[in-house]
Amino acid sequence: MKPCANLTFLFKELPFLERFQAAADAGFDAVEILFPYDMPAPEILDRLQLAGLPLALINAPPPNYTGGPRGFAAAPDLTDRFRSDFLRVMRYAKRLKPQHIHIMTGDGEGDAARDTFIANLKWAAAEAPDQSLTIEPLNPTAMPGYFLNDYAQAADILDAVAAPNVGLQYDSFHAQMIHGDAVAVWHDHAPRVRHVQVGDAPDRNTPGNGTVDFPALFAAIRDSRYDGWISGEYNPDKDTESSLGWMSALA
Ligand SMILES: O=C(O)C(=O)[C@H](O)CO
Ligand SMILES: [Mg+2]
């Protein structure tokens, strides 16, 4: 199991560009960045190369995302917007080579949103056949109104899309908040998972300081032979360094 650091959440004690080396020094093998678009790609690439780290994941809402809607992939009236933004994301991705791109749905509900999301995912999968794309249910307490908010719903959508390069992004914080048992969610959906993020519930804080059963979760992940990244995506209770005890369970 390979540890990854989400640099949007971890090492916030440091200026953004210094977080890459800090992650490498702390023993991480990769980093992910939720919204890298405010920074020139060459600067990020430079820091990745200096630290010797691959980029595991970026998000795909619009590149100019600045606290606006969290994506458009399920917005029936904004298909053109989603598609032109996706092409811009792919131009960025060509430089940074993220292993996964998380496609965010934005707000919505009902059949029209579902159909739009499926059609957009099929289109994106065909447009970028060599790029792994992920979808991630976000819990309604943290993200009210967000369309993709349940793991069974995500499984249904992945079945309908049926594209080899589209899979599930599992997040222990959201899984626990949505379904009450992050370990059970892992057991139900492990074969679909392409990328894992960890944080505790209910406060998205340091793993081990909340209600998620991390010993059971890491044992289940190990048993399932998942070989992707396990990324820390949480707000450390104190400083980042003292929050990294969970990494030793991955060795
Ligand atoms: O909120 C999360 O858990 C995510 O991973 C999203 O990418 C947030 O942007
Ligand atoms: Mg997440």
Q: What pLDDT is stored for residue 69 in this prediction? A: 84
Distance 138 CA to ligand 1 centre (A): 7
How confident is the model over 204-247, as pLDDT tens digits? 999 999 999 999 999 999 999 999 999 999 999 999 999 999 99
The 3-state DSSP class for residue 191 equals: helix
The protein residue whose alpha carbon is closest to atom 1 in ligand 1 is 138
Helices (H), the chain: 19-25, 41-51, 79-96, 110-127, 151-161, 172-179, 182-189, 214-223
Q: What pLDDT is stored for residue 228 in this prediction? A: 97
How confident is the model over 80-128, as pLDDT tens digits? 999 999 999 999 999 999 999 999 999 999 999 999 999 999 999 999 9
Q: What pLDDT is stored for residue 236 in this prediction? A: 97
Q: What pLDDT is stored for residue 35 in this prediction? A: 86
Amino acid identity, position 6: N
Q: What pLDDT is stored for residue 194 in this prediction? A: 98
Q: What pTM did the predictor assign?
A: 0.97
How confident is the model over 47-89, as pLDDT tens digits? 999 999 999 999 997 666 667 788 999 999 999 999 999 999 9
Q: What pLDDT is stored for residue 63 in this prediction? A: 64
Number of folded domains in the chain?
A: 1
Residue 155 sits in a domain whose CATH number is 3.20.20.150
Distance 171 CA to ligand 2 centre (A): 5
Q: Is 233 a catalytic residue?
A: yes
How confident is the model over 135-194, as pLDDT tens digits? 999 999 999 999 999 999 999 999 999 999 999 999 999 999 999 999 999 999 999 999
Domain of 55?
2-250
CB-defined site of ligand 1, < 6 Å: 34, 59, 102, 136, 138, 171, 174, 197, 233
Helix, strand, coil fractions of the chain, as percent rounded to 5: 45, 20, 35
Output the six-digit token pair for 196.
């894992």
How confident is the model over 19-44, as pLDDT tens digits? 999 999 999 999 999 988 888 899 99
Is the ipTM above a cut-off of 0.90?
A: yes
